[in-house]
């Protein structure tokens, strides 16, 4: 057994911290606000595992289809939640971000393996266009619902780094750290933002994507235990845990 953590172990760690983060986001009185910044590695870790899976999957078509189907089902559930919970619905949909990311890097990969110059440029142009759409995607819907990419500014560039630097963890780490500090100074106000309340500093902490770097280096390249249950577990657990947390939050608010 190689030293480090396999894919299954990394996913399990991310799942635990994902639940903690969503508990805090739904009801900030339950946990310390420090939970949010220390969990900023979770979605980048899922994104990085997706990119790594892109290079090892037996069928990219089936993988991409699973992500888009999960994204659509989760989004429908999100829209329904806004109707049921009277505007206090579930905005999260990491599958939509992963589906966009997978599609983008697949287009780049097809372009890389295409000899025709015209087709290569068309594919790369499509990938860049979808990237730009993903970065700004926000579609208002009736009754307070909306469609947006969860962590788009954070994750879409990171997915591109993970794809283009897949063969070099060091280059990926450097790109991630540089972009993290770029987000800190450009999008989150830099050190001036720290002067605001501690609660707001913790909430505006997506720039801490760099926390994923140690987990990337800990990955030992092994799959870990893989069964039909483990293959589909995340697809079910992710929307289910969001609904459970939302329902519990509504119930306890009413009690």
Q: For 30-175, where are the E strands, in sequence order?
A: 138-140, 146-148
pLDDT for residue 227: 80
pLDDT for residue 156: 94
Q: Above 70 in pLDDT, residue 129? A: yes
Could you report the per-residue pLDDT of 155-200, keeping only the tens digit for each? 999 999 999 999 999 999 999 999 999 988 887 777 766 666 777 7
The per-residue b/e assignment along 130-167, b for 16 or more CB within 10 angstroms, e otherwise, is bbeebeebeeeeeeebebbbebbbbbbbbbbbbbebbe
- Return the SS3 of 139: strand
Query: Model confidence at 255, in pLDDT bands (50, 70, 90)?
Result: very low
Query: Could you tell me the pTM of the whole model?
Result: 0.91
Average pLDDT over residues 112-133: 93
8 contacts 226 by C-beta, under 8 angstroms: yes
Cα 45 to Cα 55, 86, 156, 250: the distances in Å are 16, 33, 13, 30
- Lowest-pLDDT range of 86-100, 105-119, 223-237: 223-237
Q: Above 50 in pLDDT, residue 242? A: yes
The number of C-alpha atoms within 13 Å of 162 and in the hemisphere containing its C-beta is 30
Q: How far apart are CA 95 and CA 97, in angstroms?
A: 5
Q: How far apart are CA 157 and CA 154, in angstroms?
A: 7
- Lowest-pLDDT range of 84-88, 103-107, 142-146, 232-236: 142-146
156 contacts 172 by C-beta, under 8 angstroms: no
The candidate with the shortest Cα–Cα distance to 24, out of 12, 8, 36, is: 36
CA 213: distance to chain centroid?
A: 15
Query: Model confidence at 228, in pLDDT bands (50, 70, 90)?
Result: confident
Instruction: Please report which helix (H) or strand (E) contains residue 193, including its range.
Output: helix 190-194
Q: Above 60 in pLDDT, residue 209? A: yes
Phi, psi angles (nearest 5°) of residue 138? -155, 110
């Amino acid at each position: 057994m190689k030293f480090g953590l396999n894919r299954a172990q990394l996913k399990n760690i991310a799942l635990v911290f994902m639940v903690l983060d969503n508990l805090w986001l739904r009801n900030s009185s339950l946990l310390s606000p420090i939970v949010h910044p220390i969990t900023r590695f979770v979605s980048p870790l899922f994104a990085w595992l997706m990119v790594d899976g892109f290079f090892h999957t037996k069928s990219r078509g089936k993988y991409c289809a699973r992500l888009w189907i999960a994204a659509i089902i989760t989004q429908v559930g999100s829209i329904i939640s806004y109707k049921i919970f009277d505007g206090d619905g579930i905005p999260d949909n990491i599958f939509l971000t992963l589906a966009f990311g997978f599609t983008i890097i697949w287009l780049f990969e097809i372009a890389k393996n295409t000899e025709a110059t015209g087709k290569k440029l068309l594919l790369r142009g499509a990938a860049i266009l979808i990237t730009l759409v993903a970065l700004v995607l926000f579609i208002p819907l009736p009754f307070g619902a909306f469609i947006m990419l969860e962590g788009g500014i954070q994750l879409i560039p990171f997915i591109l780094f993970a794809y283009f630097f897949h063969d070099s963890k060091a280059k990926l780490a450097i790109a991630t750290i540089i972009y993290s500090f770029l987000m800190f100074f450009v999008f989150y106000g830099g050190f001036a933002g720290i002067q605001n309340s501690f609660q707001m500093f913790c909430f505006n902490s997506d720039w801490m994507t760099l926390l994923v770097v140690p987990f990337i280096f800990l990955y030992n390249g092994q799959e870990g235990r893989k069964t039909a249950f483990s293959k589909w577990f995340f697809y079910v657990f992710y929307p289910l845990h969001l609904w459970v947390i939302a329902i519990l939050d509504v119930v306890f608010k009413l009690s």
